[in-house]
Amino acid sequence: MAKLDRHEARKRRHLRMRKEVIGTPERPRLSVYRSLNHMYAQIIDDTEGKTLVAASSVEPELRNKLSNTKNKVAAKEVGLLIAKRALEKGITKVVYDRGGNIYHGRIAALADGAREGGLEF
């Protein structure tokens, strides 16, 4: 039963956070999803409801480079890749949506990678 409660708590945190975090054309939202095996990141303009840029550890570009897709190193690489793609599209400033997850571990590593890649939060 504890597993269900933990997932429900994450969903509630995410809903609470999404009231405040809204992506605009000037400052889109960097949304992060963490599964057991992979990390996914999207930059979204909420006014139009469109994904502008996406990256994940599932992509062959990263899978060939990484030995493991479920650690902090992989998360940081996804952050660097999303930042590179965002800068190519002219996006420099974003708001960070951690998806209700606690800012720790892979979530923090992805954010660090995106900052290192040139995105400003």
- Kindly state the average pLDDT of the residues 95-121: 95
Binned at pLDDT 50, 70 and 90, residue 1 comes out as: low
**Confidence bin at 110 (pLDDT 50/70/90):** very high
6 pLDDT tier (thresholds 50, 70, 90): confident
CA distance 85 to 54: 8
The pLDDT value recorded for residue 112 is: 97
> How many other C-beta atoms are found inside a 10 Å radius of the C-beta of residue 119?
23
Nearest residue to 29 via CA among 94, 79, 92, 118: 94
Note the residue count of the chain.
121
Per-residue pLDDT at 15 exceeds 80: yes
Tell me which residue of 48, 38, 29, 104 sits closest to 77, measured CA to CA: 38
Enumerate residues 6+ apart whose C-beta is below 8 A from 118.
83, 84, 87, 92
**Strands lying side by side in the sheet with 95-97:** 50-56, 39-45, 29-34, 95-97
Residue range 2-117 forms a domain whose CATH class is: alpha beta
pLDDT at residue 21 greater than cutoff 80: yes
On the question of pLDDT at 63 being above 60, the answer is yes
Which pLDDT score is estimated for 102? Answer: 92
pLDDT at 51: 96
Residue 35 pLDDT: 94
Question: Taking a C-beta distance cutoff of 8 angstroms, is the pair 83, 46 a contact?
Answer: no
